[in-house]
Amino acid sequence: MAAQETVDHKYVYDFAEGNKDLKDLLGGKGANLAEMTNLGLPVPPGFTITTEACKAYLATGREPDGLAGQVEAHLEALEREMGRRLGDADDPLLVSVRSGAKFSMPGMMETVLNVGLNDRSVIGLATRAGGNDRFAWDSYRRLIQMFGKTVCDVPGEEFEHAIDDAKRAKGTDNDLDLDADDLRGLVDTFKRIFAKHTGREFPQEPREQLDLAIHAVFESWNAERAVVYRRQERIPADLGTAVNVVAMVFGNLGADSGTGVAFTRDPGSGAQGIYGDYLANAQGEDVVAGIRNTVPLEELERIDKKSYDELLDYMARLEEHYKDLCDIEFTIERGKLWMLQTRVGKRTAAAAFVIAGQLVDEGLIDLDEALHRVNGAQLAQLMFPRFQLDHDYEPVAKGIGASPGAAVGKAVFTSARAVELAAEGEAVILVRRETNPDDLNGMIAAKGILTSRGGKTSHAAVVARGMGKTCVSGADELQVDIPAKRFTVAGQTVSEGDVVSIDGTTGKVYLGEVPVMPSEVVQYFEGTLDAERTDHPLVRAVHRIMTHADARRRLAVRANADTGADAARARRFGAQGIGLCRTEHMFLGDRRELVERLILASGDQERQQALAALLPLQREDFVEIFREMDGLPVTVRLIDPPLHEFLPPLEQLAVNVAVAQERGEDVAKEEALLAAVRRMHEENPMLGLRGVRLGLVIPGLFAMQVRAIAEAAVTVVRAGGSACPEIMVPLVGAVQELETVRAEAEKIIAEVVGDSGVEVLIGTMIEVPRAALTAGQIAEAAQFFSFGTNDLTQMGWGFSRDDVEGAFFWRYLELGIFGISPFESIDREGVGRLVRIAAEEGRAARPGLKLGVCGEHGGDPDSVHFFHEVGLDYVSCSPFRVPVARLEAGRAAVETQGSDSR
């Protein structure tokens, strides 16, 4: 019975049997050919072999039972409809064999044209073409060339060299100058090339050509370029491709024939108009290959007005039917227009927003659909400045595009020098082997950051993204020499003061100045866009869609911000609070000496003196932030990193002490620091004395911070403002840790707040797997959870995030172990399950428990959808990612409602 079902399974569909909604089965091309057929447009007859047949072939290495017979039956039906037989010697039917996956993969898989030609049928084709021998032999050489390269892996350059030799012998550089005799000679040459590489003659049996071409298209699904493209575009690997067998129509029959590509709107800008290219006396691959120069599509009106008018009518009908920009391929055969393909066209990020707005205005779609058609990745692309690469600028190195944008400035090699030059009005690029927290001031001052080490989650990358700074990390071709204030690359030396340009999107590094274009979208969000530019189609579209996203979303969007300036920027970008204020950043710069005093304190008195000196500084930090947020919630994370991160590196201190001793200088302070660093040294500090552990071990540290937060809130409220502080305890793994900290914190808060009316929530980060698994217990002591997904990912996977990306992630991506780095997008099955468990068990123990996320994933489009699905209340991300999160939160709400209604 099972065998009978396999034989009876339908693997082949005539175009008239399908429609555009069968993309899973017929692929995008086959489904759209069927749709155009159903609309009555002039589509050459043909049939589609399903993706199921492809998957079965790839799984077993042979055709599934029943496929050959179904292909034969549909081929006979096609022959009857066309009145010709495949490869007939007198009047041959020729077909194209084209790939067509569910998702468009342009140029990634195979196509073979003119299948059915052989030594006999080429004569019949010439006769049918009115004695046009040149056309017939040109078609035959194209078949051998495409078949050899696609089906039999004959090196394509050998065919190209043969064509070049033929043109050289003719004294021309134009293919059209080759006559029938030249092309007949090329066919003989191509056959010899084919035989040399395959060990057999070019197949003369038309059905064998067809079967081999179908198999080649199936196999092209797993070709290296197709695999790489799918990985890049996150297309599932198990979909397979359909195969479309279509009766050939010819654009290379003479001046009254041709081929072209048309777009119903400009895919670059979204502007309405006539866009596309046309090439007379050519077949489709000539347009793509750029062998000859095309003419603008509007020239077709002069060349063939009848076909031009028909094409415009079909374009309008297709766009109205698909309710979107359509990309169309067509051929004109002796004045007869044929539609070969349509699909929803790819477009730039700017065009996506503009077209969505236009289609709403035209009544073709509503605002929910417009929101669905754009995405956060496109918005992010629009928000970063970019290089104007209209000249030949060659990069000298390529690292990891860690924080998008384009930045140009003088190379500097220390944080202090970056601050110094920036204060003088100079644009600088901070170049380091790797950055550390002490580089923060220099990173703030610089236009961009360039490191020779690290990955997308290195210190440089994370901090740069948080500030919206352009960053290229892991450019390991750079030999950075900090003491000498220079780096060498590609045989060239770049010294301090030399200008460099870095592209944080592509990771490319350029020497000299590359022109930069600012982002109008960022200027719109910040309110600095010139009045005349606010009516620009892109700006209007972004405003309209963002307004609708805000109206539709359930998730609130907060920002990660550590200063008043960051908080102000976050509000301009639409943040509804601060989800992560990192207090450790407040201990850097001029306050470092006070931190050293705290660390070196020999007893309680010295420790309390150091803490007392830090208290008013911390208080003023929080006053500034609370004022900027004006009553919006501000989640302050108590100090998290190990204290030795605030001290100089062990190696540097050891060298300093040795040099000072050699000179006979007083080294008492340096020796004390060195002893402290050695005492605090940990093999794995990220799993050591940090977070809540630090607060429990160092008396008074958390108490000072809690007091500063409460006093700042009271100060703002008593001055007539509003403050909504939330204190977050980091790295909790057991409820007892939180209970201990909370008990002390509540006493301080009660003492400070008095009758001011200030309410302070106390909660915790869920970033240790044990915390996620015991969330029900922890919720008894927590008024909110905020998921620290950076550390939760690191501990859940057992990865050191500063090491693994550059070390082996590339291999994991190559092998398909990852589709994307789990530090970029939430690992739904593993880390995501921990989030889901903690959310469910936390709310079961404490109904109404406030849930948020403050890791890097809070600004990742796909992750935002997951957090919406899990039921979190808010996401928090860097200020520059806030608009992206707002947009995706709206999209998540619309798509959830759409799936629920279905």
CB 853 within 8 A of CB 789: yes
Mean pLDDT of the region 611-618? 94
How far, in Å, CA of 209 to CA of 75, rounded?
A: 13
Most confident of 106-110, 481-485, 527-531: 481-485
How far, in Å, CA of 474 to CA of 483, rounded?
A: 20
Report pLDDT for 291.
Answer: 53
Report pLDDT for 483.
Answer: 92
Report pLDDT for 295.
Answer: 86
The token pair that represents 867 in the structure block: 């957090």
Report pLDDT for 289.
Answer: 53
Name the DSSP class of 299: G
* 323 or 686: which leads in pLDDT: 323
The token pair that represents 647 in the structure block: 């001290």
How far, in Å, CA of 173 to CA of 170, rounded?
A: 9
Nearest to 210 by CA among 284, 147, 136, 123: 147
Query: Residue 460: which pLDDT band, with cuts at 50, 70 and 90?
Result: confident
The token pair that represents 641 in the structure block: 């990193």
Q: What b/e readout covers 737-750, taking b as 16+ CB neighbours within 10 angstroms?
A: bbebbbebbeebbe
How far, in Å, CA of 844 to CA of 889, rounded?
A: 25
How far, in Å, CA of 135 to CA of 251, rounded?
A: 10
What distance lies between CA 212 and its chain's CA centroid?
Answer: 37
How far, in Å, CA of 785 to CA of 776, rounded?
A: 11
CB 887 within 8 A of CB 374: yes
pLDDT tens sequence across 123-146: 999 998 889 999 999 999 999 999
Residue 151 has pLDDT above 50, yes or no: yes
The token pair that represents 222 in the structure block: 């797993």
Backbone phi and psi for residue 374, each to the nearest 5 degrees, phi listed first: -115, 170
How far, in Å, CA of 587 to CA of 795, rounded?
A: 26
Marked catalytic residue, from 74, 215, 459, 857:
459
CB 87 within 8 A of CB 118: yes
Query: Residue 288: which pLDDT band, with cuts at 50, 70 and 90?
Result: low
Least confident stretch, 156-160, 325-329, 681-685, 837-841? 681-685
Mean pLDDT of the region 768-793? 97
Report pLDDT for 204.
Answer: 96
Contacts of 248 by beta carbon, 8 Å cutoff, 6+ apart:
44, 93, 94, 95, 96, 113, 114
**Catalytic annotation present for 581:** no
Report pLDDT for 287.
Answer: 62
Query: Residue 285: which pLDDT band, with cuts at 50, 70 and 90?
Result: low
pLDDT tens sequence across 733-755: 999 999 999 999 999 999 999 99
How far, in Å, CA of 650 to CA of 645, rounded?
A: 10
How far, in Å, CA of 579 to CA of 817, rounded?
A: 32
Three-state secondary-structure class, residue 719? coil
Report pLDDT for 88.
Answer: 94
What does the DSSP assignment read for 397-455? EE-EEEE-SEEEEEEE-SHHHHHHHHHTT--EEEEESS--GGGHHHHHHSSEEEESS--
Residue 546 has pLDDT above 90, yes or no: yes
* 902 or 452: which leads in pLDDT: 452
pLDDT tens sequence across 333-387: 999 999 999 999 888 888 899 999 999 999 999 999 999 999 998 998 888 888 8
CB 452 within 8 A of CB 474: yes
Least confident stretch, 238-242, 591-595, 636-640, 644-648? 644-648
Contacts of 91 by beta carbon, 8 Å cutoff, 6+ apart:
84, 124, 127, 128
**Catalytic annotation present for 854:** yes
pLDDT tens sequence across 798-822: 998 777 876 787 788 767 788 788 9
Mean of per-residue pLDDT scores for the chain: 90
Residue 686 has pLDDT above 70, yes or no: yes
The token pair that represents 522 in the structure block: 């960022």
* 309 or 108: which leads in pLDDT: 309
Report pLDDT for 226.
Answer: 82
Paired sense of beta strands 448-451 and 336-344, if any = unpaired
Mean pLDDT of the region 536-554? 96
Marked catalytic residue, from 54, 581, 854, 877:
854
Contacts of 359 by beta carbon, 8 Å cutoff, 6+ apart:
323, 324, 365, 369, 370
Mean pLDDT of the region 860-872? 97
How far, in Å, CA of 157 to CA of 135, rounded?
A: 23
Mean pLDDT of the region 303-319? 97
Query: Residue 646: which pLDDT band, with cuts at 50, 70 and 90?
Result: confident
Least confident stretch, 10-14, 40-44, 245-249, 292-296? 292-296
Residue 3 has pLDDT above 50, yes or no: no
Report pLDDT for 508.
Answer: 95
Nearest to 502 by CA among 397, 349, 432: 397
